[in-house]
Homo-oligomer: A and B are copies of this chain.
Amino acid sequence: MTQVKQIIYKSHPDGMPKESDFEIKTTTIDESDLKEGQLYVQLLEVSVDPYLRYRMVEVGGGFEPFKVGQVMNSIALVRVITSKSDQFKKGDIVTGWSVPWQEYSILDATGVQKIPDVDVPLSYHLHSLGMTGLTAYFGLLDICNPKQGEIVLVSAAAGAVGMLVGQIAKLKGCKVYGIAGGEKKVNFVKQLGFDDALDYKGVSNMDDAIKKLCPDGIDVYFDNVGGETLEAVMINLRNFARISLCGSITEYNNAESSKGPRRYFNLTYANAKMEGFLVARWKDQFPKAIEELAGWLKEGKIQEKIDEWKGLENIVPAFIALFTGLNVGKVVVKIAE
């Protein structure tokens, strides 16, 4: 019997998630409960992502909602302490999409995969070589098929997904513009190789700001925010433009209170499409994509940026920070070495 700390989902947030919507508890776990096909694992690093907010609702749009009272979970890296599966052995580092926020857990081996054998810092497996990287890769390349010389705009450009989208678009020979909040983020994005970036803070008219940033219009918009930015994009679309829907600030509460993008009908005049995706649809192509991403990383063609927090008690603050605009790059919380 081991005493372990865990984070419980306590209440559905009303708007912005607060620390009081979660609770740290202590529970006991008995390694001898381990059954055939299961793993006893230690939590190493936790990925916090905006999409988790979409699960913090009573009725979910497309993700399985968290139930009040359950242990929180997310994508994470764990170390196998004891294995009763012939797929994994002691010491393996594995990742899963629904790993409990709990120091030690018993997991079904079917719910985890080994991380790819690439010599990079562990946290990269939660970013460029993990779900975030795959989201950027497929959400840009498969949904938008950007071509050499096309104009690509990325919102939340300094965020975990956006920073990769912009860099991949540059690799494809596109002209890449970013939108981010604050000078620090704008500079970060430019240093990554974006052709230019807009600081949305202090912008009074988003329509004018986007037109000034992209005077020749937009072929591809990778949308991490929705709202006014998406509406401004609608009047700056080039013919046959593509919009990849990845995130929306207007949807953080729930779909009922959301506003749709005015001027969506401009998609007609521009022969343009707006397409949404869940990255799991490309599951079969993950290994090949990760291989390509790892190659780019090794050759220095894409840069990494990890915003590392420490300790189980900081998972929730790190998650909340995603919505207050504090983070640059990928937020990861390290629990153990």
Contacts and interface: CB of A to CB of B under 8 A. Distances in A.
Interface of A: 61-63, 226, 231, 234-235, 245-246, 248, 250-251, 255-256, 258-278, 281
B262 A258 contact: yes
A264 B226 CA distance: 10
A293 to B, nearest CB: 21
A272 B275 contact: yes
A235 B60 CA distance: 11
Contacts of A62: 266, 268-270
A255 B248 contact: no
Contacts of A261: 260-261, 264
B265 A255 contact: yes
Copies of this protein in the complex: 2
Contact of A262 (B235, B259, B272): B259
Given A245-B268, A271-B281, 15 more contacts: A61-B265, A61-B266, A61-B268, A62-B269, A234-B255, A245-B264, A255-B262, A256-B262, A258-B262, A258-B265, A266-B276, A271-B278, A272-B276, A273-B273, A273-B276
A70 B259 CA distance: 38
Given A231-B260, A260-B263, A266-B255, A276 B281 contact: no
B260 A235 contact: no
A261 B234 CA distance: 14
Name which of A231, A245, A250 has the most chain B CB atoms within 10 A of its CB. A245
Nearest to A267: B276
Given A259-B260, A259-B262, A263-B258, A269 B235 contact: no
Contact of A271 (B256, B260, B270, B277): B277
A235 B260 CA distance: 13
Q: Which 6 A-B pairs have the closest CB atoms?
A: A62-B269, A260-B260, A268-B276, A267-B276, A273-B275, A260-B261
Contacts of A61: 265-266, 268-269
A264 B268 contact: no
Contacts of A231: 260
Nearest to A231: B260
Contacts of A269: 61-63, 276, 278
B267 A275 contact: yes
Contacts of A258: 262-265
B235 A265 contact: no
A245 B267 contact: yes
A137 to B, nearest CB: 16
Contacts of A270: 62, 276
B263 A235 contact: no
23 contacts: A61-B265, A62-B266, A62-B268, A234-B255, A235-B255, A245-B268, A246-B268, A255-B263, A256-B262, A258-B265, A259-B259, A261-B261, A261-B264, A265-B276, A267-B275, A268-B276, A269-B276, A269-B278, A270-B276, A271-B277, A273-B276, A274-B274, A274-B275
